[in-house]
Structure 1
Amino acid sequence: MGFTSRITIALVVTALAGCGAGQTRLNPLNWFGSDREERIAEARTEDARPVVDQVVSLSVAPTTGGAIVSTVGLPPTQGYWEAELVRVPTDDPSVLLLDFNILPPLASEPVGTQPSREVLAGRVFSTQDLAGIRTIAVQGLQNRRSVSRN
């Protein structure tokens, strides 16, 4: 192996190692940080399908073709079902805003403990869907959680 080949290999290995360390923007694992919560002042009721009472957590997992947004919601009682993250239009093109929609139980259900009421929802977004997006936010009736790119 020649001197030029050794230098090229060393540069490639160094560049790849740099993607995994620190907070470089080239590393897809660093695209979104941890979630943070915002309280919503007034309840929204414009959609026929109810929105979950509270958003408990939000995470964004990078994939080779985009990202998986997953969140946990907390309805007021047990029995809520058919959770879905629905995109909401915003004035800011750098924000991906999602409503955490959920259907109520068909019959009266007990309140139960928090873990027994938690409902999971997720959605996959492609790299094209996330082009220009700096913040992903999921909102319920009482709060909104968001993550931003590092």
Structure 2
Amino acid sequence: MRKPLLAALALVMFVSACGAVRESRLNPFNWFKRSETVAVAEVTPGAVQDPRPLAQQITALKVEPASGGAILRVTALPPTQGWWDAELVKRSPDENGARIYDFRMSPPKGQAGVNTPRSREITAAVFLTTRQLQEITSITVQAATNGMTSRR
């Protein structure tokens, strides 16, 4: 009688401790909240210029936990099909924990048609290490007409 009671009590205490981990910063699913749309920020003078134009519009931004850090995955919608060489280009050094990326991609080589928005979507991603994430409180990705931010 005594052993089952002790086992049940230990199980109850173990399961009750799981609630504290769910809201803690140790849980990778709590690292960043849902993304939100923000206004386009101005480019700082003296920043490295990339010849590729900015994506027209950002449609999705997700920070997904991964082994050793997180993956920042961003989807953009160009005006036509055929855009390529998409990349998230980091702007200047982080300021007060805010990291800003530009979503840049190369235009099509020739004439390109316009089809459904789903067929024009382009996704780019970058891996952020756990050490980088310790210093970051918000991540912003800029396009030509909008930007999106994910905060802790």
Query: Do they superpose with TM above 0.5?
Result: yes
* Shorter-chain TM-score tier: 0.7 to 0.9
1:64 Cα offset (Å): 2.9
Q: Is the 8 A contact 2:32 2:150 kept in 1?
A: yes
Name which one, 1 or 2, has greater alpha-carbon Rg. 2
Q: Which runs of 5+ in 1 are unaligned?
A: none
1:19 to 1:109, Cα distance in 2 relative to 1, 3 A: same
Structure 1 residue identity aligned to 2:78: P
Deviations 1:18-54 (A, max 9, x none): 213xx3223221110101001327799x531211111
Match of 1:99 among 97, 102, 107: 102
Query: For this pair of structures, how many residues does the alignment match?
Result: 146
Structure 1 residue identity aligned to 2:38: E
What percentage of aligned pairs have identical amino acids? Answer: 37
Q: Over aligned residues, Cα RMSD in angstroms?
A: 2.7
Match of 1:141 among 141, 144, 151: 144
1:116 to 1:66, Cα distance in 2 relative to 1, 3 A: same
1:41 to 1:15, Cα distance in 2 relative to 1, 3 A: closer
Match of 1:69 among 72, 83, 107: 72
Is residue 2:24 matched to residue 1:19?
no
Runs (4+) of structure 1 exceeding 2 A deviation are 6-18, 23-26, 39-44
TM-score by length of 2: 0.81
SS in 2 for 1:131: helix
Quick check: which one's helix share is greater? Answer: 2
